[in-house]
Amino acid sequence: MRWSSAREFFAYLGPALIVSMAYMDPGNYGTAIQSGALFRNELVWTVWMASLMAMELQYLSGKLGIATGRSLMELLRGSLHSRYYRLTYWLAAEAAAAATDLAEYLGTVLALNILFGIPLLYAAVLGAFDVLIILAFASRRFRVIEYAFMLFVSVISVGFLYELYVFGPNLADIVRHTFVPTLNRENIPFVVGIVGATVMPHALFLHSHLTKEKLKESTLEEKRRVRKLHLTECVVTLTVAALVNAAILVVAGKALCPVYGCIGNTDINALTVTGAAKVMDGLYGPLAGIVFGVTLLSSGIASSTTGTLAGQAIMEGMLGMKINPYFRRIVTRVINVFPTVAAIVAGLSPLSLLVYSQVILSIMIPLPMVPLLYYTAKKELMGEFVNRKSTTLIALAVGGTILALNVYLLLTL
């Protein structure tokens, strides 16, 4: 019976796995590296908090697709009767997707620089062609993409297990900062950045789209079966994502904090992802830097695929029509290639761009979160899958916490 359940879970595995890459994308690398370099293990609690928030909201998004057979954007298209409101909401959702893709694109660019020594300007041009890899995946049956994500997640997870083994983190200090949160004027942008890099708007739009595609039929029994598998997958894959994010922060704290001076003494603009890899090379041997670069490249390519799927779900859901994936990806890339190249030519720090993009994402979280909480609490829409009162209260607490952090950040800027 257990073997049968494991096979059924593996056959279903995909939606939360794809979404989990949004929680291991280069934006997470950027915020975790800066947070670790500045505050060592002090913000580990934020990683766990953000991951639990993501788990709750992603469960609701996936459940919405299972219960209704429609994505969040499809439901919104039906609720927003005015063309003006539809257009406004669609453009805002597209802005969130563009900010997400900026981080993913930058991750690929930085990984090419770390692994092959390609100058950032040339890497920016080459990185734009990851669209070809993504479209090659998209031209096959969708299960091939899910298999690819299993590989990407495995590479990233094993890579950071190796990094933790090499760096030998202080477990007692990690445990202490897990249960003793610190929040002040200095670290609030990084707390919000970690939340923005973890609870990502485009992933909330995407999950309901992916789970509805997993339904073999619209019977109540099938929906019950898929919902149980969905819950298990959310817990497993997003726990892995949380462990990876914590590992990035801990490794950065161990390797970079002593080099850059830690709290109060770091020139954050002098800290770069490529610089971080070079520090790892110097202190722990070239393999440490290479493993870091490989995980970053895997993250950039996989999260770009997630971003493409999310962009398609957003556009198709709101417009009510199928979108050519070639067109979708090329448009998104063009939007991000030019400002990124301009920033590199101007000498701006790619790492700072990563972090600021994540802060923008955190501010945009209410965009999908508010309608998601509204729809999943409606009995006439969700049927027996409607949120329990406790689930709604937890979700409201999550939403309130995110909004409070955003307000605090804006007031302290």
| pTM, rounded to two decimals | 0.89
Residue closest to 15 by CA, chosen among 77, 57, 48, 61: 61
Q: What is the pLDDT of residues 15-62, one digit of tens each?
A: 999 999 988 888 788 788 888 888 889 999 999 999 999 999 999 999
What is the model's pLDDT at position 259?
66
CA dihedral 360, 101, 315, 335 (to 10 degrees): 90
CATH of the domain at 247: 1.20.1740.10
- Buried b or exposed e, range 219-252, using 16+ CB within 10 angstroms: eeeebebbbebbeebbeebbebbbbbbbbbbbbb
Evaluate if residue 116 carries a pLDDT over 70. Answer: yes
How far are the Cα atoms of 4, 76, 172, 349 from residue 29, in angstroms, in the given order?
37, 32, 23, 14
Q: Is 140 helix (H, G, I), strand (E, B) or coil?
A: coil
Least confident of 46-60, 89-103, 114-128, 335-349: 335-349
Q: What is the pLDDT of residues 291-318, one digit of tens each?
A: 988 999 999 888 888 888 888 889 889 8
What is the model's pLDDT at position 1?
43
3-state DSSP percent of the chain in helix, strand and coil, to 5: 85, 0, 15
| Residue range(s) defining the domain that contains residue 260 | 2-412
Q: Concatenated DSSP letters for 85-118?
A: HHHHHHHHHHHHHHHHHHHHHHHHHHHHHHHH--
**Section 139-144 average pLDDT:** 76
Residue closest to 241 by CA, chosen among 167, 156, 164: 156
Q: Which two tokens stand for residue 280?
A: 């790892």
CB 74 within 8 A of CB 412: no
192 CA to centre of own chain = 14
Q: What is the pLDDT of residues 199-251, one digit of tens each?
A: 888 899 999 999 999 998 889 999 999 999 999 999 999 999 999 999 999 98
Give me the number of domains the chain comprises: 1
